[in-house]
Amino acid sequence: MSRLKKLTINNLFSLKGKVALVTGANGILGTVYVSTLLNAGAKVIAIDKNKTDALVKSLKIDYYHNDVELENLHCFSLDITKEKEVASFFHDVLKNQSWFKGSLDILINNASLVKQVGNSDLSDAYDIFENQGAEDWDPYFKVDLIGALLMVKGSVVLMKSNGGGSIINISSTYGNVSPDQRLYDSLITPENNHRIEKPIGYSISKGAVLNMTRHLATLYASDGIRVNTLTPGGVFANNPESFVKEYSRRTPLGRMSSRTEYAGAVLFLSSDASSYVTGSNIVVDGGWTAW
């Protein structure tokens, strides 16, 4: 048994000297995770398929990080579904960075294939099941599962050499329970009068994340690598009023979450505060799955 550290809140939650990697860093929650890790003192490797200019801008405007704090942020463009590209990133790109000393302590598998309700036309992505095929389901599995596994594969090698680490896989309430498809009936309008459904590919992939976490947690426990799932609920992102009303009515707390309400859970799972937590699913959904 390791020697006990002095028990203080600062020690428990500090990430000073840690190196963290976040996929899907440009996303609505990715920016929160990156900001949380930076605030706690970590160096952050921010990965996204798209350009990361928007991430830096968001961190300055929305989360008030200054240029000194952002010196700990290192952004890269990467398609996590491409096995050779991911391998090259870990074997070549990172090793050529002067600030990177071969240490990785935290991986947040946040990248996901999802379209926010209200921010885009959902008629294709949310088409009914009978109209879907393999080409509709496969992208969910490639990003949420294959991409996540490739990132874990590259990360655990570094974590093993470092004596351990923390991996956080992001699921969804729809990985725990089935979507209430009646919720999406609120989006039917005279201009868009056909039924839409939350895609089954999303539910399957997010459900699989839970057992992926349990498998990896037991596989790497002896290496000091903890693996957990964070399950967020619906995040308000300027969604249509009708959707927000129906979602809120189904949630015990009576509202959707704000983006920043997952920062505490991420910090907990990333830090020594959760040193005896692995194989778990931390649900932060306003009570959605409680009834």
Please say if the pLDDT value at position 187 is more than 80.
no
Does the active-site annotation cover 202?
A: yes
108 occurs within a structural domain: yes
Range in 85-99, 116-130, 248-262 the model is least confident about: 116-130
Stronger pLDDT, 185 or 104, i.e. the higher one = 104
72 occurs within a structural domain: yes
Please say if the pLDDT value at position 7 is more than 80.
no
Between CA 160 and CA 163 the distance in angstroms is 5
43 occurs within a structural domain: yes
**Taking the CB of residue 192, how many other CB atoms lie within 10 A of it?**
11
Four-residue CA torsion sign, 97, 80, 208, 260: positive
250 occurs within a structural domain: no
Q: Structurally, how many domains does the chain consist of?
A: 1
Tokens of 186: 């609120």
**Taking the CB of residue 6, how many other CB atoms lie within 10 A of it?**
6
Q: Which of the residues 33, 63, 184, 202 is marked catalytic?
A: 202
Please say if the pLDDT value at position 3 is more than 60.
no
Q: pLDDT by residue (tens digit) across 35-65?
A: 999 999 999 999 999 877 788 888 998 888 9
131 occurs within a structural domain: no
The pLDDT of residue 74 is: 95
Q: What percent of the chain has pLDDT over 90?
A: 74
The pLDDT of residue 125 is: 61
Q: Which residues contact 247 (CB under 8 A, 6 or more apart)?
A: 183, 234, 239, 256
DSSP 114: -
222 occurs within a structural domain: yes
217 occurs within a structural domain: yes
Antiparallel, parallel or unpaired: β 106-109 and 165-170? parallel
Whichever domain contains 225, its CATH number is: 3.40.50.720
Between CA 158 and CA 26 the distance in angstroms is 24
∠ at Cα 19 (82, 86), nearest 5°? Answer: 10
Between CA 152 and CA 149 the distance in angstroms is 5
Range in 17-26, 82-91, 179-188, 232-241 the model is least confident about: 179-188
Q: Among the residues of 97-147, which ranges form H helices? A: 134-141
Q: pLDDT by residue (tens digit) across 207-228?
A: 999 999 999 999 999 999 999 9
Tokens of 206: 């997010």
230 occurs within a structural domain: yes
Q: pLDDT by residue (tens digit) across 97-131?
A: 999 999 999 999 999 987 655 555 555 667 888 88
Tokens of 178: 């089935």
Q: pLDDT by residue (tens digit) across 134-162?
A: 999 999 999 999 999 999 999 999 999 99
pLDDT band at 73 (very low <50, low <70, confident <90, very high): very high
Structural domain harbouring 214: 15-121+139-180+200-237+259-290
The pLDDT of residue 11 is: 86
